[in-house]
Amino acid sequence: MDLGLTDKVAVITGGSIGIGLAIAHGLAAEGAHVVVAARNLERAKEAADEVAAKHGTRTLAVGADVATADGCAQLIAQVEQAFGGADILINNAGTGSNETILEAPDEKWQYYWDLHVMAAVRLGRGMAPAMIKRGGGVILHNASICATQPLWYEPIYNTTKSALLMFSKTLANELIPHNIRVNTVNLGLTLTPDWVKTATQLTEGTDKTWKDYIQGVADEWAPIKRFASPEEVADFFVFLCSKRATYSVGSTYYVDGGMMKSIV
């Protein structure tokens, strides 16, 4: 199946590891040129080189903290300089939180707001004009099932991902006249390096392995009884970027192994 992604330019934040890196590989496998953005430039370079070596497409590594206005501006400028703009933007950078509302300080709320919401605002606002000149494009937001089905231990994550969901919907309405399709993907349990790290820490000194912990979480929360691999969820992102998904606009898609409990 031809996905129509050959020679498209895709920017992926948080692209050096986990889901972002899997999306980079998925898009490059379809012939897209990939910009890997991450806070750590060396990690971004390693990931970009890995993608280029495997798929033979052009890559660019950008070291930028998209939780800051300067980091977003730096990423936008480097994409413009290298490619004249982008056709695809994947707002993937993010991380979980762990706090209570009564104890979390303003600074923590502000950091997650900047990372999960303002990064998407700034990058969408900054990259859309070039997309318009190029005839259209795709913007995808990696939110979370927690945007609509919150977990008790990360209220800041829940709140900021929910805000990202609403931003995505309103941006979709504004940009569709310019042939830019905006959608959100709400993922369930996905086996990222963060999950492995957390599971390893929680099982240290016990008679269980990190894999035992992961399986316990899957058994409790996911009807499918397992975590998704980054590659599995990346395939869905790649499809939404393609010409096979041209009627998909302003929607939220759950890729969660049945974890969502409601029908709306």
Q: Which two tokens stand for residue 141?
A: 């937001």
Amino acid at 168: S
DSSP-derived pairing of the beta strands 180-187 and 137-142 = parallel
Q: Which two tokens stand for residue 225?
A: 């009884």
Amino acid at 132: I
Please classify residue 24 by burial: count the beta carbons closer than 10 Å to its beta carbon, then call 0-12 exposed, 13-18 middle and 19+ buried: buried
Name the strand (E) or helix (H) holding 255.
strand 252-255
* Residues listed for the chain: 264
Burial readout 179-210 (b: 16 or more C-beta within 10 A, e: otherwise): ebbbbbbbbbbbbbeebeebbeeebeeeeeeb
Show Cβ contacts of residue 39 under 8 Å, excluding neighbours closer than 6 positions.
63, 64, 65, 71
Q: Is 157 a catalytic residue?
A: yes
Provide the greatest CA pair distance for the chain.
58
Q: Which two tokens stand for residue 262?
A: 């409601």
- DSSP state, residue 135: T
Q: Which position among 157, 213, 247, 253 bears the catalytic label?
A: 157
Question: Which of 253, 250, 242, 229 has its CA nearest to residue 27?
Answer: 242
Catalytic residues: 157
